[in-house]
Chains A and B, each alone.
Chain A
Amino acid sequence: MQRILFGILSMVSLALCLVFSIAYFLGKIKADRFKSGFLFASIAWFIFATLWATRTKKLSKT
Chain B
Amino acid sequence: MAGKIAALASRLDQLYEFDREPVSLNKLQSGGKFAGLFAGEHVAATEFVIGAFFVLHGVTAKDLVFGLLFGNLLAVLSWTFVCAPIAVRTRLTLYWYLRKIAGPGLTVIYNIANAILYCILAGAMIAVSATAIGLVFKVETPSLSDVFPTSWGWVFITFALGAAFTAMAILGFEKLSKFAQVCSPWIFVVFLAGALAMLPKLGVHANFDNFWEVATTKVWNGIAAAGQDKLSFWHILFFAWFCNLAMHVGLSDLALFRYAKKWTYGLFSAFGMYPGHMLAWICSGIMVAAVGREMNPGLMAFEAAGFAGVAGVLLAGWTTANPTLYRAGLALQVITPNWPRWKITLAAGTLTTIISCFPIVFMKLLDYVAIYGLVLMPIGAIVFAEHWILPLLGIEQYRAEKYQWMINWRALAVWFGTLIICFFLPIHLYFRWLPGYLIALVAYVLLQAMKKNKN
Contacts and interface: CB of A to CB of B under 8 A. Distances in A.
Interface string B311-327: 10000000000000000
A14 B186 contact: yes
B306 A38 contact: yes
A49 B183 CA distance: 9
A34 B307 CA distance: 11
Nearest to B182: A49
B151 interface: no
B186 A22 contact: no
Interface residues on B, range: 20 to 34
Contacts, number: 61
A57 B174 CA distance: 13
Interface residues of A, number: 23
Contacts of A24: 196-197, 200
A25 B182 contact: no
A25 B196 contact: yes
B199 interface: yes
A15 to B, nearest CB: 9
Contacts of B311: 42
Contacts of B193: 17-18, 20-21, 38
Contacts of B192: 18, 21
Contacts of B181: 53
A18 B308 CA distance: 13
Contacts of A26: 206
Interface in B289-345: 305-308, 311
Contacts of A57: 178
Interface of B: 178-179, 181-182, 185-186, 189-190, 192-194, 196-197, 199-200, 206, 305-308, 311
7 contacts: A14-B185, A17-B190, A18-B196, A25-B197, A42-B186, A49-B182, A57-B178
